Structure 1
Amino acid sequence: MRFSVKGKGQVRLSLKTSDVDEAEIRAKREHLRYQLRAEDGHLATSKPFHTVAQEYADSIAGQIKLGLKKDYRAQQDPQIINRYLIPFFGKDRIDSISESRIQQFIQWRYGYWISGPGQAVEKVEYLRNGRRLFYKPRHIVPKANTVRGNCAVLSNVFKFAAAKDYVRSADIPRMVLPKVKPNPRPSFSLEEVHQLLDAAIARLADHTIPRRQQLERMVLYCYINIACFSGLRPVELHNLNWQHIGKFAAQKSLPNAQRDLVIHAFGKTAPRNVVPMEQAGTAFDFLWDAFEEINGRAPRPEDPIFINFKGERLRSVKRSLNALLEASSLKTHDFGGARVAYSFRHFYISQQLLANVDVFQVAQNAGTSVEMVQKYYARLGPEAFKKELRARWRTDAEKRRDEEGNE
């Protein structure tokens, strides 16, 4: 159909039906809707979703410069838009997408890699530092958190459309998102962490391996040590530069007990200062010395703390950590869950709670909320309270005898 709206120009729409009676009903409804929007002062011209989504993607770089979005959005959001959102919503008008349409998208997204367009995809191309790379996708059903993340990008597209007056804020459809069940990663006991660190040290003593491998094992030992005694997230550890360890160079010659190290952490949440335990101090010493050996000079403030044998920032310890966990028979928890780098953060928070550190102070240092600590980290098994659970039960007569004996 084609019609004109006074002061807004001509509008062309597809009614998407071959039934004449149904087409007439839809035409009247669309014409009335456009007239009402024009009277409200909104643009009567409607844009297809793919156009609006691309405009939003093009705007991300500018929003990052203004500090309105985090850097990772520049890569993540366009990938989600081009792989999932545009293929599904495509030519749908941005102001015609309904709540039921979004629910259809959510179901489609769950099946994308197993029964949808992704089932035939064998490799996915991406760019890193200007280089074209590929990875083999996993043909599995995504987790609820992943789908929620995709919907968050969809929500950002709608907010952008409202700001551009492509859709009224009141017309943005409600999103009923999939619920995420709490799934805390398995932690370690204090004895298990000591076992793991002892195994890491023992592997360092193997002089039959190349120096490169020795350095990698030493960095892994330090990574575990700092993670366990600071509670930093993996991304926060990988982001660390020497300038983020307050006054480390000035305190390097001091014993750990006399140091007052503060880590300026950033990554998932807003930047914050973290107070590590003194056990982490020696690991920083080792990493400083390793940097000097690899690069032939002392670290500069802007240099990364965790580096590989080439002196480049370390991006992952997954492979080396898995090898150490397997060698130590600690890869899986008693209940079968696989331990990962994030498990050290759970260990730190759990141990602080067991040591009766105030939960608010623990949450502040860990960059999370008291609610999240209670929901994900405070699930300590009964074995953590053996002494309390094996309390001595006394009869009234025994209580009286004990009281008389104390007089």
Structure 2
Amino acid sequence: MRPPGNVPDERFQLFQRKGSAKWQIRFSIRGQGQLKRSLDTDDLREAQRRAEAIWYEATYRAQQGLTARAHTFESVAEEYIAQILREVERGERRADQGKSEPAVIRRYFVGYFGQKPVDAVSEADLERYAEWRRTYWTEGPGKLVTHIEYERGGHRLRRPVRRSAPSLSRQRGELVVLRQLLRWASRQGYLKTPPEVTIKARRTPDNRRPSFEPHEFAHLQNVSLGRLVDPIMDGSGAMVEASDKRRWRIKRLDDHTRRDRTLLHAYVMIGAFSGLRPTEMYNLTWGDVLGYRAGRGKPVDQRDIRLQVRGKGKSGKAIPQKAAILWFDTLWMLFERSMGREPVDTDPVFASEQGKRITSVANGFTELLKAAGLERDHRGIKRTPYSLRHFYISEQLANGSEVLDVARNCRTSLAMIDKHYGQVRLERVVDRLRPDWTRR
């Protein structure tokens, strides 16, 4: 080790390691010990210039309460991950956080900031990061990734990549993790004040599921009933042209078409009067319609049913409106006519002519909507069978049902009710918005 020539003071020392012509610097910071760095030059004058800059920077950082040496974002992120895993082991964090948060940190945060000094991350950097994250799987590094591997129950699994921007809730969740990381780094002395993570996550378009206004549903109901009538009655039958150019109008419905339309009408009415999800309706068996057999043959006002439902990973009981009972009678009758026997508990409620479970009415429902001129709502969004559930919940709220009761009966959360189903037009609750206190 060879010391340099004249050194202006003892703020730092320059030296060369044995066998190397490159100059090194060493100096001490109170409370942080000795620091050594290579100056990457064999020119003494240039080494002194670089040494001055390094010493001044380290001294300034120490005066500001920071570590004398700048730390890369990646190294700080790995330290933070180690802290997360220690907290999981001590039971201070949920176990799933020990898997999900390190994955997010390494893939996105380190993937973007990498070797950048953590104390050099600015709010402008965070803005640019947010845009990079939104396009990660479509235009960024993720476009080359074919699948994602993960562990569940001790098994290594893989899933395909979803080529889309992250949802609004996911963006917000990841920003929470990034904010926690930067605050932790600040407490460790790696940066003075963490940049404010106030990135405005782009709002997604209004994707609330389209519903029906009461007058629209009444029109849909009338059109659906009208489609059960033979076309000869109103002259609405479609024109048919044969290969020999002969043309005529269909005057009667064939039995298959009439049955399909009757089943569809029952589906519409049960969906609108129960609020069941489409999957829950398709999964219904006659054993799930609790109390139905005991009430057969009685007047409707003396009958009552409950629905044991399952679907979308959830299950529970639902209390439908009594108006739905008549349409279960219709489905029972259709099954008897097709199969020549009463349905047993394991038979599906929505069954084909062969007694098999129907798994979708989407096409028939779309044709009905087109016939009624109700295919899209006022925003131009296409209605689906799910719109019947939205109609049920909106009507329950508009007519005074408690939000909590509706949420429980529909197996959903208060937040989801507010987000997707609570947008009842003000004109329909005007009386509730004008209580008597103004006239006292």
TM range (shorter): 0.5 to 0.7
- Rounded Cα–Cα distance in structure 2 between residues aligned with 1:143 and 1:299: 47
Instruction: Report deviation, 1:382.
Output: 2.7
Indicate how the Cα distance of structure 1 residues 247 and 387 shifts in structure 2: closer, same or farther if over 3 A, else same.
closer
RCO higher in structure (CA 8 A, sep ≥6)? 1
Asked if 1:361 corresponds to 2:405, the answer is yes
- Cα RMSD over matched residues? 4.2
Aligned with 1:289 (options 333, 339, 350) = 333
1:371-393: CA deviation from partner (whole Å, max 9, x where unpaired): 2212221111233235567999x
- Rounded Cα–Cα distance in structure 1 between residues aligned with 2:168 and 2:288: 31
Matching residue of 1:107:
135
Asked if 1:298 corresponds to 2:322, the answer is no
1:48-103: CA deviation from partner (whole Å, max 9, x where unpaired): xxxxxxxxxxxxxxxxxxxxxxxxxxxxxxxxxxxxxxxxxxxxx99975645599
Aligned with 1:261 (options 287, 305, 315) = 305
Indicate how the Cα distance of structure 1 residues 193 and 109 shifts in structure 2: closer, same or farther if over 3 A, else same.
same
Q: Highest CA radius of gyration, 1 or 2?
A: 2
Indicate how the Cα distance of structure 1 residues 111 and 336 shifts in structure 2: closer, same or farther if over 3 A, else same.
same
1:324-372: CA deviation from partner (whole Å, max 9, x where unpaired): 1111111111232221111111111111111111111111101111222
Instruction: Report deviation, 1:206.
Output: 2.3
Matching residue of 1:198:
222
Asked if 1:310 corresponds to 2:354, the answer is yes
Asked if 1:217 corresponds to 2:261, the answer is yes
Matching residue of 1:240:
284
- Rounded Cα–Cα distance in structure 2 between residues aligned with 1:335 and 1:274: 31
Matching residue of 2:245:
none
Matching residue of 2:211:
187
Conservation of the 8 A alpha-carbon contact between 2:317 and 2:409: yes
1:96-118: CA deviation from partner (whole Å, max 9, x where unpaired): 75645599897353469xx9689
Instruction: Report deviation, 1:146.
Output: 12
What are the ranges of 5 or more consecutive residues in structure 1 without an aligned counterpart? 1-28, 41-92, 119-139, 152-175
- Rounded Cα–Cα distance in structure 1 between residues aligned with 2:401 and 2:104: 51
Q: Secondary structure at the match of 2:219?
A: helix
Aligned with 2:379 (options 320, 331, 335) = 335
TM-score, normalised with respect to structure 2: 0.51
Instruction: Report deviation, 1:233.
Output: 0.7
Indicate how the Cα distance of structure 1 residues 237 and 145 shifts in structure 2: closer, same or farther if over 3 A, else same.
farther
For 2:209, the aligned partner's letter is R
- Rounded Cα–Cα distance in structure 2 between residues aligned with 1:330 and 1:352: 22
Asked if 1:345 corresponds to 2:392, the answer is no
Indicate how the Cα distance of structure 1 residues 320 and 142 shifts in structure 2: closer, same or farther if over 3 A, else same.
farther
For 1:107, the aligned partner's letter is T
Number of residues paired by the alignment? Answer: 265
Instruction: Report deviation, 1:147.
Output: 11
- Rounded Cα–Cα distance in structure 2 between residues aligned with 1:391 and 1:329: 37
- Rounded Cα–Cα distance in structure 2 between residues aligned with 1:116 and 1:98: 14
Instruction: Report deviation, 1:240.
Output: 0.8
Indicate how the Cα distance of structure 1 residues 144 and 308 shifts in structure 2: closer, same or farther if over 3 A, else same.
farther
Matching residue of 2:425:
381
Indicate how the Cα distance of structure 1 residues 299 and 100 shifts in structure 2: closer, same or farther if over 3 A, else same.
farther
- Rounded Cα–Cα distance in structure 1 between residues aligned with 2:285 and 2:376: 32
- Rounded Cα–Cα distance in structure 1 between residues aligned with 2:413 and 2:105: 37
Q: Secondary structure at the match of 1:193?
A: helix
Conservation of the 8 A alpha-carbon contact between 1:346 and 1:377: yes
Conservation of the 8 A alpha-carbon contact between 2:272 and 2:388: yes
- Rounded Cα–Cα distance in structure 2 between residues aligned with 1:194 and 1:268: 29
Indicate how the Cα distance of structure 1 residues 233 and 94 shifts in structure 2: closer, same or farther if over 3 A, else same.
closer
Indicate how the Cα distance of structure 1 residues 97 and 291 shifts in structure 2: closer, same or farther if over 3 A, else same.
same
Aligned with 2:416 (options 349, 372, 390) = 372
Indicate how the Cα distance of structure 1 residues 296 and 99 shifts in structure 2: closer, same or farther if over 3 A, else same.
farther
Q: Secondary structure at the match of 2:282?
A: helix
Indicate how the Cα distance of structure 1 residues 246 and 111 shifts in structure 2: closer, same or farther if over 3 A, else same.
farther
Q: Which moved more, 1:234-243 or 1:187-196?
A: 187-196
- Rounded Cα–Cα distance in structure 2 between residues aligned with 1:94 and 1:185: 31
Q: Secondary structure at the match of 1:271?
A: strand
For 2:305, the aligned partner's letter is L
Instruction: Report deviation, 1:179.
Output: 7.3
Where is the strand percentage greater, Structure 1 or Structure 2?
2
TM-score, normalised with respect to structure 1: 0.55
